[in-house]
Amino acid sequence: MAVALIACAYSQLLPPEHIRLLSLGGLAFPFVLAANVAFLLVWLVFYPRYMLASLVACLMCIAQIRTFLPVNFSRQEPPEGSIKVVSYNLLSWTLNIPSPLKENPTVQYLDSIDADIVCLQEFAFANLKENGRHSDILAKYPYRSFDLSGSGEWTSRYLGCLSKYPILSVEQIDLYTTANGCQKYRILHEEDTIVVYNCHLQSNNLNTEDKSNYEQILSDPKGKLRAQGTWTILDKLTDAAVKRAVHARILMDDMEREDAPYVILCGDFNDSPISYTHHLFSSRLTDAFVASGNGPGISYNRNKLYYRIDHMMHSPSLDAYACRVDRTFGRSDHYPVSCYLKKSK
């Protein structure tokens, strides 16, 4: 278990295409960490001298433990002048229902949170684009980006932005996928331009049957679905991890070319905090939840796949305060992530 913990923690350093199965180490990390903590307690009671192996393993993984389970007692009160940013995967947010749009619970929620910038993924454009652009629906966000036509085969569909500040431009970042994508907004705040990347990285493509098999495997590990179902799921997960690594590199290259002083990257990464994708972004940006959040921050809430896969990251020129996952609103299979960001220089 000690060796497994170290392997899972440092799996984030290796590109997924090199050792595909190890790329899933981040998904196993919380379970292996829990096992090592349990061993520490067992050794403490029965064989104290054996504690060393588990203790050394935990100490070697202290940075990853903090990334996965941050604790921040400070930075919970945002200072004056902070910008409230919210990222939310809406699961197409059931906007296409036969009720007045302004009475839709998700619309009401977005109106109530009173954010400055809202980045939306899996955004069903039709009703809001047709009925909301010239109405009082979400009127506190006068600047909106509902969609952007793709170039050629590739498109960044299902992404949207609501802002209290002027959106100077909207640009598509081609991720070479027709189901996921990224948009880049240049937003004017005071006299500065903030570059916001709103992304939905490669989905794991687990269908209803896969998710049902996963739940059965958890409840009956020795059942007949164990071998076939497990390998099907692992194959899809590793394929998705490889594609997300490509997406992450594309975004990192774009950030290098942009070279903007204020950058925010948020969205549905479809990857845990212990992953190659997250580690690559962290080489340039700060994870707002790690810097100012508390606990595991689970943002996905269905099919017993309880992980923080929705993230918000920012450039060092910004400071994060009170980053949290809002578990009070569970209409989607994701919870909203919010954070206050303040310019530090």
Please answer whether residues 231 and 265 qualify as being in contact, where contact means their C-beta atoms are separated by less than 8 angstroms. no
pLDDT over 70 (residue 157) = no
Return the CATH superfamily for domain 83-205+233-343: Endonuclease/exonuclease/phosphatase (3.60.10.10)
Domain boundaries, the chain: 2-68, 83-205+233-343
The secondary structure of 178-242 as a DSSP string is SS-EEEEEEEEETTEEEEEEEEEPPP----HHHHHHHHHHHH-TTSTTHHHHHHHHHHHHHHHHH
**What is the end-to-end Cα distance of the chain in Å, rounded?**
44
Please state, in angstroms and rounded to a whole number, the distance separating the CA atoms of residues 12 and 284. Answer: 15
Radius of gyration of the chain, Cα coordinates, nearest whole angstrom:
21
Give the pLDDT confidence score for residue 98 in this predicted structure: 47
* Across 35-44, 61-70, 221-230, 267-276, least confident range: 221-230
Q: Is the dihedral of CA 67, 71, 73, 78 positive or negative?
A: positive
Closest by CA position to 311, among listed 301, 323, 321: 323
**Across 213-224, average pLDDT:** 62
Please answer whether residues 72 and 291 qualify as being in contact, where contact means their C-beta atoms are separated by less than 8 angstroms. yes
Please state, in angstroms and rounded to a whole number, the distance separating the CA atoms of residues 12 and 61. Answer: 12
Question: And the tokens for 39?
Answer: 């061993």
- Max Cα-Cα span within the chain: 70
Q: What is the pLDDT of residues 121-153, one digit of tens each?
A: 987 655 555 544 445 778 899 998 876 544 444
The secondary structure of 48-72 as a DSSP string is GGGHHHHHHHHHHTHHHHHHHS---
* Across 85-94, 127-136, 182-191, 306-315, least confident range: 127-136
Q: Alpha carbon 97 to chain centroid distance?
A: 27
* Across 21-35, 174-188, 291-305, least confident range: 174-188
Please state, in angstroms and rounded to a whole number, the distance separating the CA atoms of residues 293 and 71. Answer: 7
The partner residues of 186 in beta bridges, in order of sequence, read 169, 195
Give the pLDDT confidence score for residue 99 in this predicted structure: 58
**Across 249-261, average pLDDT:** 92
Q: What is the pLDDT of residues 73-94, one digit of tens each?
A: 888 899 999 999 999 998 875 5
Which range is most confident: 167-171, 175-179, 214-218?
Answer: 167-171
